[in-house]
Structure 1
Amino acid sequence: MGKQIQPIDRLKLGLAVSTAKTVTFLVRLLRLGAASVLPGEIARRLQPKLLQLLSFQVKRGVILVAGTNGKTTTSLLLKTMLERQGWKVAHNATGANLENGLMTALLESTNIVGKLEADFAILEVDENILRRVLQPIQPRLILCLNLFRDQLDRYGEVDTISKRWGEAIATLPTDTVVVANADDPTLAYMGQQLPQKVRFFGLKEPKQYLDEIPHAVDSIYCPKCGHLLSYAGVYLSHLGDYECPSCGFAKSKLDIDSNQWQQILIGLYNKYNTLAAVLAAQELGVDKSIIQDSISTFQAAFGRAEELEVEGVRVLILLSKNPVGMNETIRAVNQAGGKTKLLVLNDRTPDGTDVSWIWDVDTEKLVETGGTLVVSGDRVYDMALRLRYSQLETSANVQLIIEEDLRSAIATALDRTPADETLHILPTYSAMLEVREILTGRKIL
């Protein structure tokens, strides 16, 4: 923060920034996208130290938000709190969370010669690159939300990722603050081993326990000794109240009361997002009244419980990109009611090319509520097959409609949704972007 930049680096930085801003202008002028990645990639080639030089200029420090699910919602809520406190915040709001996306977000807050004006930078970070960006960025605070299986073709298992995170974070200065999810055994154990100050968030609400451990469970073994953990109950996947009967490892003590902060977004997973943002805001000195007001008036990020009105129909878009996320979405949709759902499954790079994860989703719980299920996307028949296998004798009232063309699928789903109900759309990441473009006429990326 605020370190001196050498003249030669300053010269290269100015060239990189001016080039990036020109690229951004042209991309947006020609309506080729939001220019959330390309400017950073080009600028990095002109100034290899770009990420470091920009991060050092953030006055109060950089906040990294990492985890499988919830990064965008948590980041946006925390950004709202900081801005209402009166601070200027840079943020990769489009969700471009690889190095080039981080740099592009910081470039947005610089002038033409590379001087960055921001009190804070909130950067959502892909879980697989966190360790690579820690040293150049030197974050003030790191938010560790959760670790679930996601895109196994790229990342591997959660234990491997958490080990890498812990090793990398441990090399940072001891005044770095880590905010971690105590309900996740892998992150709780990681936090317990770190030399930095670690603050834990989580739930203490037995009434929210699931009836049984779901199929999409990732890490129910002790991260310390490998013994099977003993759970008093689980909230979602492997997140819950636990202890190890063999070595004594147990859930960390919480630094926040989950019953004190009530979010307006649907889903238990959004309660975790709220608690993470609140604890981080408290650590950064945001007033309690501002935190509470930000929560009570918060609007969801694009595609994350985002509400739209289309042709007089209320539409709710719920990003569903891995087993845990989709299971929680299904739980929220079932609680909300409504008989029409649109599921869109793609297998592009942002989604992960391996779609076998849909067989770990408890789609039976979606099917058993009945109604109309419209299916589309690049892997429409994979999803249709999964839903067909989910049908039981008690779910004979389900109508499954397959539409290869996404526009036709959306039109069909809208037409099948009564005026007094909500159309719930459950897309993977690239599918969510397509759905939004069709519904709003605007690209996000």
Structure 2
Amino acid sequence: MANKIQLIDRLKLGLAVSVAKGVTFMVRSLRLGAASVLPGSIARRIEPKLLQLLSQQVKKGAILIAGTNGKTTTSLLLREILERQGYRVAHNSTGANLENGLMTALMDNTNILGSLDVDYAILEVDENILPRVLAPIQPKLILCLNLFRDQLDRYGEVDTISKRWGKAIATLSPDTIVVANADDPTICYLGQQLTQQRVAFFGLSEPEHYLEAIPHAVDSIYCPRCGKALDYKGVYLSHMGEYSCSNCGFSRSQPSLNSSEWPQILVGLYNKYNTLAAATAAQELGVDAATIRETIPNFQAAFGRAEELEINGKKVRILLSKNPVGTNETIRVVTESTDKTTLLVLNDRVQDGEDVSWIWDVDTEKLVQRGGTLVVSGDRAYDMALRLRYSDPNPAQNFKLIVEEDLRQAINTALERTPNNETLHILPTYTAMLNVREVLTGRKIL
């Protein structure tokens, strides 16, 4: 994949990287943040072709991971698998998944002149910018995880995004590998339409995990080919499951791996999807099954993604909850436990999405009906409190709701009400998760 760079481009690249590394040093020295975006923004002004020039130096090629949920966990697992195989990997591990963040992550792995010496670059990419970065990066592999409603004020509906993805991916080299989620009808159809690229699928084959009914937070239960309602044999989460269309014959593709034969990382069925996605991608890249299986049991959670901490002798589990589908799955994790204290933190900042109406698509009734203590905080604490109160069909039942605007006090209150033999589950949106971790660990992530 690596190509020679023309002299003029090499000089401009060296200047851009040198300036960026200087900015990175200053930002980190002054403890102003992780410098995961600003260096790329500045370097890009010096050399507009920065992303292309860096990407073409990756020896075996770039791996792009896109989707609404699971990007960070899947990319981290895939990185650990490849490193166990002996490869050198660049990775935007801070989660900065827009163009400036991708460039910054690549520059972190170069020398002062901009020479990049890695085998693979794993880049989790925001679903909205994926079509824009395909041409300059020319990836070796694209992993398409899922598409759910997420920040509609920024992105729009999932079918619009999937059409843009498919149109852009179809222009890539036939050597490109696409790994797609067979259980997501929109993603599966996208993969089936790619006739020039090599496509592999992942998905579940475990009917014992079917939900009792299709949940309220569902996006794509209609056939992406003809528009008729799909016939579901069963659903695992949201619109993801085993399906077919009796009108046009569209049906789910067969996954490459038998999910029942594979262990999973962390808790929650959604992490089984993340495991299978990374394992399928690794297999397509030629990694042996033994290496993949050895990596899974030793995997550690990325910050805020089923991350477990011990605070004042009590266990705390942070479950990022930033959209209806993701929050329904974290609620499933909570309700399947015996723990009865939960802290929900709702923010409405740019990174979260400023429209919080999505909370009314969350099945909070399941959380409320089990009883216990629910503590609510964040910028939109009262919006979440109202949603929970409307979820309570019987105000007299054993359910206590506490609203605490001050996050530090909310965490203290939740910890105080958590027995020593139980775990406090914290369900925050993205920026709320960063705030929670800053309070709990005394340091910022970004």
TM-score normalized with structure 1 length: 0.99
- Return the letter of the residue paired with 2:352: D
Aligned to 1:310: 311
State how far apart, in whole Å, the 2-side matches of 1:152 and 1:89 are. 33
Aligned to 2:372: 371
Q: Could you say what secondary structure the match of 1:346 adopts? A: coil
In the TM superposition, what is the alpha-carbon distance from 1:264 to its structure 2 partner?
3.6
CA contact (8 A) 2:265 2:275 kept: no
- Return the letter of the residue paired with 2:173: P
Aligned ranges for residues 259-338 of structure 1 at < 5 Å? 259-338=260-339
Aligned to 2:80: 80
CA contact (8 A) 1:317 1:426 kept: yes
State how far apart, in whole Å, the 1-side matches of 2:443 and 2:65 are. 26
Aligned to 2:142: 142
- Return the letter of the residue paired with 1:258: S
Aligned ranges for residues 411-430 of structure 1 at < 5 Å? 411-430=412-431
- Return the letter of the residue paired with 2:107: L
Q: Confirm or deny that 1:234 pairs with 2:221.
A: no
State how far apart, in whole Å, the 2-side matches of 1:395 and 1:77 are. 45
After alignment, is 240-249 or 256-265 more displaced? Answer: 256-265
In the TM superposition, what is the alpha-carbon distance from 1:205 to its structure 2 partner?
1.1
In the TM superposition, what is the alpha-carbon distance from 1:254 to its structure 2 partner?
1.3
Aligned to 2:341: 340
Deviation digits for residues 362-394 of structure 1, max 9, x if unmatched?
000001111110000000000000000001228
State how far apart, in whole Å, the 2-side matches of 1:302 and 1:336 are. 21
State how far apart, in whole Å, the 1-side matches of 2:365 and 2:254 are. 35
Q: Could you say what secondary structure the match of 1:152 adopts? A: coil
CA contact (8 A) 2:66 2:130 kept: yes
In the TM superposition, what is the alpha-carbon distance from 1:411 to its structure 2 partner?
0.8
- Return the letter of the residue paired with 2:128: N
In the TM superposition, what is the alpha-carbon distance from 1:92 to its structure 2 partner?
0.5
CA contact (8 A) 1:368 1:394 kept: no
State how far apart, in whole Å, the 2-side matches of 1:163 and 1:366 are. 35
Aligned to 2:165: 165
In the TM superposition, what is the alpha-carbon distance from 1:347 to its structure 2 partner?
0.3
Q: Flag as ranges the 4+ runs of structure 1 deviating above 4 A.
A: none
Could you tell me which runs of 5 or more consecutive residues in structure 2 were left unpaired when the two chains were aligned. Answer: none
In the TM superposition, what is the alpha-carbon distance from 1:429 to its structure 2 partner?
0.2
State how far apart, in whole Å, the 1-side matches of 2:396 and 2:136 are. 54
- Return the letter of the residue paired with 2:40: G
- Return the letter of the residue paired with 2:37: V
Aligned to 1:250: 251
State how far apart, in whole Å, the 1-side matches of 2:251 and 2:181 are. 13
- Return the letter of the residue paired with 1:306: E
Identity of aligned residues (%): 74
- Return the letter of the residue paired with 1:141: L
In the TM superposition, what is the alpha-carbon distance from 1:336 to its structure 2 partner?
2.1
- Return the letter of the residue paired with 1:260: E
Q: Structure 1 residues 395 and 104, CA, compared in 2 at 3 Å: closer, same or farther?
A: farther
In the TM superposition, what is the alpha-carbon distance from 1:171 to its structure 2 partner?
0.2
CA contact (8 A) 1:364 1:391 kept: yes
In the TM superposition, what is the alpha-carbon distance from 1:441 to its structure 2 partner?
1.1
Q: Could you say what secondary structure the match of 1:393 adopts? A: coil
Aligned to 1:111: 111
Aligned to 2:31: 31
State how far apart, in whole Å, the 2-side matches of 1:325 and 1:84 are. 29
Aligned ranges for residues 63-102 of structure 1 at < 5 Å? 63-102=63-102
Q: Structure 1 residues 321 and 332, CA, compared in 2 at 3 Å: closer, same or farther?
A: same
Aligned to 2:155: 155
CA contact (8 A) 1:367 1:395 kept: no
Aligned to 1:220: 221
State how far apart, in whole Å, the 2-side matches of 1:405 and 1:23 are. 34
- Return the letter of the residue paired with 2:76: L
State how far apart, in whole Å, the 2-side matches of 1:70 and 1:424 are. 19
CA contact (8 A) 1:368 1:395 kept: no
CA contact (8 A) 2:58 2:118 kept: yes
- Return the letter of the residue paired with 2:381: V
**C-alpha RMSD over aligned residues:** 0.8
In the TM superposition, what is the alpha-carbon distance from 1:3 to its structure 2 partner?
1.1
Q: Could you say what secondary structure the match of 1:5 adopts? A: coil
In the TM superposition, what is the alpha-carbon distance from 1:395 to its structure 2 partner?
6.8
Aligned to 1:360: 361
- Return the letter of the residue paired with 2:385: A
Could you tell me which runs of 5 or more consecutive residues in structure 1 were left unpaired when the two chains were aligned. Answer: none
TM-score normalized with structure 2 length: 0.99
State how far apart, in whole Å, the 2-side matches of 1:264 and 1:418 are. 27
State how far apart, in whole Å, the 1-side matches of 2:396 and 2:200 are. 45
State how far apart, in whole Å, the 1-side matches of 2:397 and 2:9 are. 67
- Return the letter of the residue paired with 2:219: D
Q: Could you say what secondary structure the match of 1:161 adopts? A: helix
In the TM superposition, what is the alpha-carbon distance from 1:442 to its structure 2 partner?
1.4
State how far apart, in whole Å, the 2-side matches of 1:394 and 1:290 are. 53
Aligned to 2:175: 175
State how far apart, in whole Å, the 2-side matches of 1:299 and 1:174 are. 35
Aligned to 2:386: 385
State how far apart, in whole Å, the 2-side matches of 1:336 and 1:262 are. 20
In the TM superposition, what is the alpha-carbon distance from 1:396 to its structure 2 partner?
1.7
- Return the letter of the residue paired with 2:41: E
State how far apart, in whole Å, the 2-side matches of 1:252 and 1:294 are. 27
Tell me how many residue pairs correspond in the alignment.
Answer: 445
- Return the letter of the residue paired with 1:90: A
